[in-house]
């Protein structure tokens, strides 16, 4: 059975720890975050199949975090709310939450709601990817939907910036990008810093995707111009 990854977002440590105990099983891996900013960082790195999201949190609350997630992902989101937060609960559903549960909650009810959402979204094919979302160059596979990378069937962990650089290059196989072009596309600002910033990220990508970084198969340098991903 495929493993489901669940992300718990709550600023109360006791609630996070309790939810981990309730939800963790042989086919469930649980990730935790104490606020919306941490949650978004995890979503950049991990394939998450369901989120349990508290509403009231510091730095970035559950409403704003849900709104941000819905810009690009259709992951099931279950809101956690106190009884006094009825209006926030309604707002949460309006911005894209799929369900809610009120604190204090019954663990069995929570588990039932989680299973229901996972089952519904899986049956609807929400976790399936189209061919357009998967880009492959020989053993190098980039999945745009899950933001994951594999080399010869092995998962490769990239940082957010490393992933965006690789995505840019692999979507434009054969095209050479200068350091300045890469920086402006990935950082979304003019390159005012040293060119070394991009070069360091590219070197890190090579260390992760190449068997021999000194003789790369995929990420090639075009001396004096920039970098490209080979077409074949």
Q: Please indicate whether residue 48 or residue 191 has the higher confidence score (pLDDT).
A: 48
Q: Is the model's pTM score more than 0.75?
A: no
103: which 2 tokens? 């604190």
Q: Please indicate whether residue 178 or residue 94 has the higher confidence score (pLDDT).
A: 178
Indicate whether 125 pLDDT > 60.
no
Q: What's the CATH code, domain 4-123?
A: 3.40.50.2300
The stretch 25-45 carries a mean pLDDT of 91
Indicate whether 86 pLDDT > 90.
no
pLDDT at 122: 66
131-229 folds as Arc Repressor Mutant, subunit A (1.10.10)
Terminal Cα distance for the chain, rounded: 34
pLDDT at 129: 46
Helix (H, G, I), strand (E, B) or coil at 7: strand
Q: Kindly list the domain boundaries of the chain, sorted by start residue.
A: 4-123, 131-229
Are 168 and 181 within 8 A, CB to CB?
A: no
> Which segments of the chain are extended strands (E)?
4-9, 28-33, 50-54, 77-82, 99-103, 134-137, 140-143, 148-151, 154-156, 219-222, 226-229
């Amino acid at each position: 059975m495929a493993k489901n990854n669940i992300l718990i977002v709550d600023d109360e440590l006791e609630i996070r720890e309790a939810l981990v105990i309730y939800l963790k099983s042989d086919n469930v891996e649980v990730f935790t975050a104490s606020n919306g900013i941490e949650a978004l960082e995890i979503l950049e790195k991990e394939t998450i199949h369901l989120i349990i999201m508290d509403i009231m949190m510091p730095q970035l609350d559950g409403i704003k975090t849900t709104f941000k997630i819905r810009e690009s992902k259709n992951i099931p989101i279950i809101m956690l709310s106190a009884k006094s937060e009825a209006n926030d609960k309604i707002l949460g559903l309006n911005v894209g939450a799929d369900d809610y549960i009120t604190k204090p909650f019954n663990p069995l009810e929570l588990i039932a709601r989680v299973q229901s959402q996972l089952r519904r979204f899986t049956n609807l094919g929400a976790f399936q990817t189209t061919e357009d979302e998967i880009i492959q160059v020989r053993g190098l596979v980039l999945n745009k939907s899950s933001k994951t990378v594999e080399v010869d069937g092995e998962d490769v962990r990239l940082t957010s910036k490393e992933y965006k650089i690789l995505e840019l290059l692999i979507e434009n196989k054969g095209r050479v990008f200068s350091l300045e072009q890469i920086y402006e596309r990935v950082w979304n600002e003019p390159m005012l810093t040293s060119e070394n910033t991009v070069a360091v990220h590219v070197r890190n990508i090579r260390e992760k995707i190449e068997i021999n970084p000194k003789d790369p198969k995929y990420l090639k340098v075009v001396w004096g111009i920039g970098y490209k991903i080979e077409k074949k």
